[in-house]
């Protein structure tokens, strides 16, 4: 290549960088008008309130998606122009691949090509027998369903990008808002139980009528919200443990109250998976206290978490023990979800390596369900998100799952053994570790259910991912620093 060509490419690259920097400055100016921490909190709250449904195409999900678009556009440009992008590169690439996958499945091919994909021959025959023209299709056998699934990624992506830009004080504020929302959700669940199956406070037509569900349609997803908030509540209790000011005891008392109420909420939800994962969340919360910075923080933190757990256990035994025992009487080995997982993996093998298209599980499962195993219950999901993803996205989904879990392991090690030079508070360190615990819990839950298929929990999952990554820029605008006076440590 000639020197003139090289110089031309360099000028073009410089112009591109200049354009990106200009767009980044414009995006940051827009975010300063409506502070990013306030906008991210609004979208997160909107997702938690409206995004608890389990079906595609709900109007409530559409509201959250439309509301998230301005935040997504401005925060994405600001993130791409940020100077401290290196440590967020891998999760950004993973998110890009997650968004790109359904879009690639929508690329249409002529019938002569797509009918040769694995598992597609029967569909071509069905079109011919119905006297219909065989359409152009891509990797997805139902483009509308895949489009809806792609649009469902807007709120999680918007919150993820926005939180990457937030300083640590703003992240503290969002976790406090999340804890407050968890407490309100428990109160709502108690009212639902008190008013019975016909309660007007049950906001979804298809729901669990005899259990607490909060803003969700499903008791398992309500339980997921509560066990996710448990470690964040413990993180604040641990962070406050190192502050010797007397007024801090009020904050500690509130943390213990919320921790106990969350355990009560898990009891009245009567989700078996939720109860098991709540136990793991409690163990993780004790680990947060155990690894507190300094003997004072560790000793007080363990005491606070233990007292909160003890009070919560007493409340569960007092008000929810009978309902829990009734749920545990069911034979777990006979649970339909295990059979659904096995059948889903069998179906997935017929469509590898491409899958059937994100969002297409329900019709594909009905088409392949054996006649002698037809059920009276409605199987809208595989109740195993990993198996369902293999059905819908094939080997690409399997590769993305492995890559994400690999990043999670590496990031978790860094969070728990971070030797960085940046000085941050014990609260911030505990929040990052709590985020890691919540990600692990949701990944475990996804093996027996589909929490990430809801807008609420997928947005909360993205929020926790962003909390494990150092801020891309320093705090400029945000709430007061509640960690003033708390021990600082390297992170």
- Residue 30's CB is within 10 A of a number of other CB atoms, namely 18
Place of tokens 């249409």: 108
Cα angle 310-313-318, degrees, rounded to a multiple of 5? 130
Give the integer Cα–Cα distance in Å for 413 and 406: 11
Predicted local distance difference test score (pLDDT) of residue 322: 61
Predicted local distance difference test score (pLDDT) of residue 189: 94
Q: Give me the residue spans of the domains in the chain.
A: 45-105+146-332+382-490
Whether the Cβ atoms of residue 75 and residue 162 lie closer than 8 Å to each other: yes
CA nearest to 163, candidates 485, 484, 432: 432
pLDDT tens string, the chain, 491 residues long: the values are 555 554 454 555 454 455 445 445 544 544 454 567 888 999 999 999 999 988 877 899 999 999 999 999 999 988 887 777 877 889 999 999 999 999 999 999 998 888 888 888 888 888 878 888 888 888 899 999 999 999 999 999 999 999 998 888 899 999 999 999 999 999 999 999 999 888 899 988 888 888 899 999 999 999 999 999 999 998 998 888 766 676 677 888 888 889 899 999 998 888 888 889 998 998 888 888 776 555 545 556 666 676 776 776 776 766 655 666 666 665 444 567 788 888 888 888 899 999 999 999 988 888 877 655 555 566 678 889 999 999 999 999 999 999 999 999 999 998 888 655 456 778 888 899 999 999 999 999 999 999 999 999 999 999 999 999 988 865 544 454 333 334 444 33
CA nearest to 163, candidates 44, 285, 8: 44
Predicted local distance difference test score (pLDDT) of residue 56: 79
Predicted local distance difference test score (pLDDT) of residue 19: 46
Predicted local distance difference test score (pLDDT) of residue 480: 42
Place of tokens 């259990």: 211
Q: Full-prediction pTM beyond 0.85?
A: yes
Give the integer Cα–Cα distance in Å for 35 and 300: 35
Whether the Cβ atoms of residue 426 and residue 242 lie closer than 8 Å to each other: yes
Phi, psi of 330 (to 5 degrees): -65, 140
Whether the Cβ atoms of residue 82 and residue 473 lie closer than 8 Å to each other: yes
CA nearest to 56, candidates 168, 129, 151: 151
Cα angle 374-377-380, degrees, rounded to a multiple of 5? 95
Predicted local distance difference test score (pLDDT) of residue 335: 64
**Secondary structure of residue 109 in the 3-state scheme:** strand
């Amino acid at each position: 290549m000639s020197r003139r060509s090289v110089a031309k490419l360099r000028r073009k690259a410089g112009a591109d960088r200049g354009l990106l920097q200009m767009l980044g400055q414009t995006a940051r100016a827009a975010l300063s008008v409506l502070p990013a921490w306030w906008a991210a909190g609004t979208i997160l709250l909107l997702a938690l309130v409206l995004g608890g449904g389990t079906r595609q195409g709900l109007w409530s999900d559409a509201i959250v998606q439309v509301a998230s678009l301005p935040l997504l556009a401005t925060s994405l440009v600001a993130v791409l122009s940020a100077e401290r992008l290196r440590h967020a590169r891998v999760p950004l690439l993973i998110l890009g691949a997650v968004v790109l996958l359904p879009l690639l499945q929508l690329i249409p091919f002529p019938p002569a090509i797509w009918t040769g994909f694995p598992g597609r021959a029967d569909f071509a025959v069905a079109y011919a027998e119905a006297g219909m023209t065989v359409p152009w299709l891509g990797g997805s056998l139902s483009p509308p369903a895949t489009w809806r699934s792609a649009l469902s990624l807007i709120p999680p992506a918007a919150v993820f990008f926005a939180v990457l830009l937030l300083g640590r004080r703003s992240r503290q504020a969002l976790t406090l808002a999340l804890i407050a929302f968890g407490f309100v959700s428990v109160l709502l669940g108690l009212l639902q139980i008190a008013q019975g199956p016909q309660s007007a406070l049950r906001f979804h037509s298809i729901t669990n009528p005899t259990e607490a569900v909060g803003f969700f349609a499903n008791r398992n997803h309500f339980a997921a919200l509560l066990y996710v908030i448990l470690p964040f509540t413990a993180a604040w209790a641990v962070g406050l443990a190192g502050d010797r000011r007397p007024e801090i005891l009020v904050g500690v008392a509130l943390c213990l109250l919320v921790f106990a109420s969350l355990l009560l909420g898990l009891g009245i939800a009567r989700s078996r998976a939720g109860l098991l994962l709540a136990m793991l969340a409690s163990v993780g919360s004790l680990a947060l206290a155990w690894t507190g910075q300094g003997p004072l923080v560790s000793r007080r933190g363990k005491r606070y978490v233990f007292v909160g757990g003890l009070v919560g256990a007493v409340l569960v035994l007092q008000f929810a023990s009978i309902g829990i025992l009734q749920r545990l009487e069911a034979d777990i080995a006979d649970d339909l979800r295990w059979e659904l997982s096995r059948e889903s993996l069998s179906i997935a093998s017929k469509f590898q390596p491409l899958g059937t298209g994100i969002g297409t599980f329900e019709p594909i499962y009905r088409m392949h369900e054996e006649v002698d195993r037809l059920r009276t219950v409605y199987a809208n999901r595989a109740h195993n998100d990993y198996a369902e993803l293999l059905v819908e996205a094939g080997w690409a989904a399997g590769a993305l799952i492995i890559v994400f879990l690999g990043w999670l392991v590496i990031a978790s090690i860094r969070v728990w053994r971070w030797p960085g030079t940046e000085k941050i508070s014990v609260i911030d360190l505990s929040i990052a570790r709590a985020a890691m615990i919540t990600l692990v819990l949701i990944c475990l839950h996804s093996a027996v259910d589909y929490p990430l298929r809801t807008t609420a929990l997928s947005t909360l999952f993205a929020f926790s991912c962003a909390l494990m990554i150092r801020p891309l820029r320093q705090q400029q605008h945000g709430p007061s620093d509640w960690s003033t006076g708390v021990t600082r440590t390297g992170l």
